[in-house]
Amino acid sequence: MPQSGENNGIQIDYLEFLKSIFRVLVNGVAVALAAYLIPEPKLAVQDVIMIAIAAAAVLAVIDLIFPCIGFCYSESCSADKKEKL
């Protein structure tokens, strides 16, 4: 299975895409656990799910706009991106 594909001149890195999806899902689960366990009067499950979806969506948008903001010392960022930050 190739690491990247070519589609109308747009190169897709499938491994990086899967990492982003995993990061968003882990963040959503972590926020859901915190929203359920921390408040003293427990929130309804529907409210916890909505908070988790909102947090995951915000992270997905931030990851789309600034993909290297918090992970610039990983393999996913090139040297020129590290220098710009």
The pLDDT averaged over each successive group of 10 residues in the chain (85 residues) is: 57 84 93 95 95 94 78 54 49
Name the CA dihedral angle for 54, 55, 59, 65, rounded to a multiple of 10 degrees.
Answer: 40
pLDDT of residue 32: 96
Give the burial class of 27: count Cβ atoms within 10 A of its Cβ; 0-12 exposed, 13-18 middle, 19 or more buried: middle
What's residue 8's pLDDT?
63
Going from the C-alpha of 51 to that of each of 34, 38, 57, 80, the distances in angstroms are 10, 13, 10, 36
Q: Cα-atom radius of gyration of the chain, to the nearest Å? A: 17
The whole-model pTM stands at 0.65
Domain ranges of the chain: 4-84
